[in-house]
Chain A
């Protein structure tokens, strides 16, 4: 359907007769409703074929997580919406909980007009105007927002609000954007991936500069797209001859790239975020590393070369400034396992074996407790590796990475040469006691649950989990919640403690932020234990035992 609308656009679809904001709004609607990757891809390509260059740049930026600065906050949006609609704020809240998205809630609540005629200005006009509003007085902001609301259709309002609130989560992966641009420009996808990564400013970069590299100015910080592994579902023997494979521990940190170019140091996280300033521990490496080098590894807290639980790092992620205390309690090191650029030269097309030996040589020169060479596991048969994998938790690892020794460093998630082979998660049986509605796709459905274990005759909450059930199961639990609510606190329902679930998680650490005294890593629902009664669930003591074994 989506493609057809675009194709017929020039004939009978007024939305696409120009390349302005309507075309962008239409694109967002198409991308948001489409269920097929190919349709999304064509929608993007068709948009790129008609849109003006400045708008294109912003679309690339927005869909790869580079959103414009927030000029207006959500409280303001909500207040102005309530004034326009004359609705009480509790009813706005009630609506918001049902819709699950602020921008959409407002777009739905605002009065609709029959013939909305706006000037269909370009997307970048709105972004620039919003940018200028950042420091303006509230009254000026309000006039701008309200005037635009009153001129826009429901779809345009939604998109306009999204520009303000940020976060277009409409299922456009970096990969899809890269593919659409590759097709549009006739350039190889891996080149595009590299060009649109890194630190560029959509306000000052032109489409030409970004995609055709015509700029004279070199961006020294630019990382390479990460090569990602798929999970190995079958046994390792399916990979063939063990001699062709290299095994490393799989660390539970933040995947990162450490770059030194032009005598400057840059650190990128896998989320394409420049995080150099967050990890001052790394700054000394600038003087130890040779210039023109890019390393791939794991950002991870450690002590004496041993990784510490991820939870320790969580105390400082997200903080703008790192305190001395945090530096002492969660010293961060870089567990390096690959060499992508050496002596200013792109090494990604060389086999892993070659990259690895150069990396090892390099590490001998760099003598720093911050930079740790992620070891290669010596093994001669898969059986041997199966046994060693059992030691993962003791080593602070989540299993193994298996990499083909001859593999080049590819772009994105690719099947074949790199596999992550994780250990089975820890599990605990718990009962659901709170439920809350989800967001986006799950709005208006109780999908966010809080779980408790037994402590004597009391129940103690210890984790939330949002994923792991099928849509059908979610519907079933949702209907249980609606029929078995005991109390209502805002959006949260207290539910009769009856449904038992097995909660799986990757790690456990002590925490004083939770009643139970533990914090879990990656908790999710692994099974609905319909066979178990609430009095058969695990106890707080069981959790504490797990903490004793795995969390210290």
Chain B
């Protein structure tokens, strides 16, 4: 019997009787990270990294949560479970599952570049690796973070020179905190949308340190907003809420901006290919570093990525999960709603 089965509720370990990132309510759920397509409500018991715990609480309400350190072993019916940094967002972890000398690793979402916030991705040796493939095509190769930050900063500065505000569209958990790091170097007048504010408060309460931001409220005056930087979630883009920033330019921060058509479809002034997922090279490096004999490829370009792995001597299969939608699940920011929705792939 395989150590982990692909069931209609999620990835299931029968020996340990637990699920990893289940998309339906279960008894025991191990959560890779707090994004809504991986962390769903309704389970009785949640195990996650201790950085993830307060965010889960914010999003899923009061439940039975257990937070653990990276590499801190938890045994479930003889199955050894450890969490290892995935570098995707704060608290994001790969789940290592070991039983009778057999090791499986579930990647969750990950990126191999160290963003200075989410922890450095750790390659974990295993027999079977279950990997995401959101950007599993060779057209997705990211610029270094510092380069993209420089692009964002230059854009903000040219907007400032033109007396325009800069509205940066970024997912409220993960991307927003990175964008804030970049923006705070060139502006001390930064406002955030309520969704990002709430996330930020939880992080601050838990000892994280972030540049000071102001929350946009109905009382915020137009005068205060002049020439500012705004960080807002995708749901805010193209909504009437944006009017208060006039005059402004909009920049979307997402890996999907790598392709011109996506930026044009979203009708934004600027697109920055800043992603919290591994690019093509990152995925390949990660897979190779695990030394896995068998790779299961999930949410993203799973058909292409698994075929490429097979042709390059790594046995791979595609697996359907409910993370994202299917092979080409694309975050087209204009159909992505705010943090409370549960069916969107997150970048």
* Interface residues in chain A, defined as those with a beta carbon under 8 Å from any beta carbon in chain B: 1-5, 7-8, 12, 32-35, 85, 87-88, 90-91, 94-95, 98-101, 104-105, 108-109, 112, 439-445, 471-472, 475-476, 478-479, 482-483
Q: Are B141 and A112 in contact (CB under 8 A)?
A: yes
* B262 within 8 Å of A (CB atoms): yes
Question: In the complex, A423 Cα to B265 Cα: how many Å?
Answer: 31
Given contacts A4-B158, A35-B269, A91-B138, contact A99 B325 (CB under 8 A): no
Q: Which residues of chain B have C-beta atoms less than 8 A from A33's C-beta?
A: 260, 263-264, 269-271
- Which chain B residues lie closer than 8 Å to A109 at the CB level? 138-139
A85 partner, pick from B138, B269, B308, beta carbons under 8 A: B138
- Contact A475–B259 (Cβ < 8 Å): no
Is the CB–CB distance between A94 and B137 below 8 Å?
yes
Closest to B343 in A: A479
Chain B interface residue count, CB cutoff 8 Å, equals: 43
A472-B334 in contact (CB<8A): yes
Main secondary structure of the interface of A (DSSP, over half): helix
Instruction: Tell me, in angstroms, the Cα distance from A94 to B138 when the chains sit together.
Output: 10
Interface residue? B311 (CB, 8 A): yes
- Cα(A475)–Cα(B234), bound, Å: 15
Q: How far is the CA of A112 from the CA of B258 in the complex (A)?
A: 14
Checking A8, A35, A105, A439 against B161 with a beta-carbon cut-off of 8 angstroms, the contacting residue is A8
Residue of B nearest to A34 (CB): B269
* Cβ contact within 8 Å between B161 and A4: yes
With A32-B260, A98-B137 as known contacts, state yes or no: A1 contacts B249, CB within 8 Å.
yes
Partner of A440 from B158, B261, B326 at Cβ < 8 Å: B261
Chain B residue, CB-CB nearest to A447: B265
- Inter-chain contact A471/B334, CB cutoff 8 Å: yes
- The verdict on A444 contacting B259 (CB below 8 Å), with A95-B137, A471-B334 known, is yes
Closest to A100 in B: B261
Question: Please, could you name 24 A-B residue pairs with CB atoms under 8 Å apart, sorted by A?
Answer: A1-B251, A4-B161, A5-B158, A7-B161, A33-B260, A33-B269, A33-B271, A35-B267, A87-B138, A91-B308, A95-B138, A95-B139, A98-B301, A98-B328, A99-B259, A104-B259, A108-B139, A108-B140, A112-B141, A440-B260, A445-B332, A472-B334, A479-B325, A482-B328
Q: Which 10 A-B pairs have the closest CB atoms?
A: A4-B158, A443-B261, A108-B139, A475-B335, A441-B264, A1-B249, A4-B162, A95-B139, A94-B304, A1-B269
Q: Closest Cβ of chain B: how far from A355's Cβ, in Å? A: 42
* Chain A: CB-nearest residue to B137: A95
The 0/1 profile, CB within 8 Å of A marked 1, for residues 310-347 of chain B is 01000000000000011111101011000000000000
The docked-state distance in angstroms from the alpha carbon of A482 to that of B140 is 21
Q: Which residues of B contact A479 (CB under 8 A)?
A: 325, 335
Given A95-B139, A482-B329, 9 further pairs, Cβ under 8 A: A7-B161, A104-B259, A104-B260, A112-B141, A112-B143, A442-B265, A444-B328, A445-B332, A476-B335
Q: Which residues of A contact B141 (CB under 8 A)?
A: 108, 112
Smallest CB separation, B204 vs chain A (Å): 31
Known pairs A4-B162, A472-B335, A475-B332; A91 contacts B265 (CB<8 A): no
| Central interface residue in A90, A95, A105, by most chain B CB within 10 Å | A95
Contact (Cβ within 8 A) B161 A442: no
Chain B neighbourhood of A5, CB < 8 A: 158
Separation of A33 and B272 alpha carbons in the complex (Å): 12
Residues of B with C-beta under 8 A to A2:
269
Q: Residue B264 contacts which of A8, A32, A472 (CB distance < 8 angstroms)?
A: A32
- In the complex formed, the residue of B with least CB distance to A438 is B261
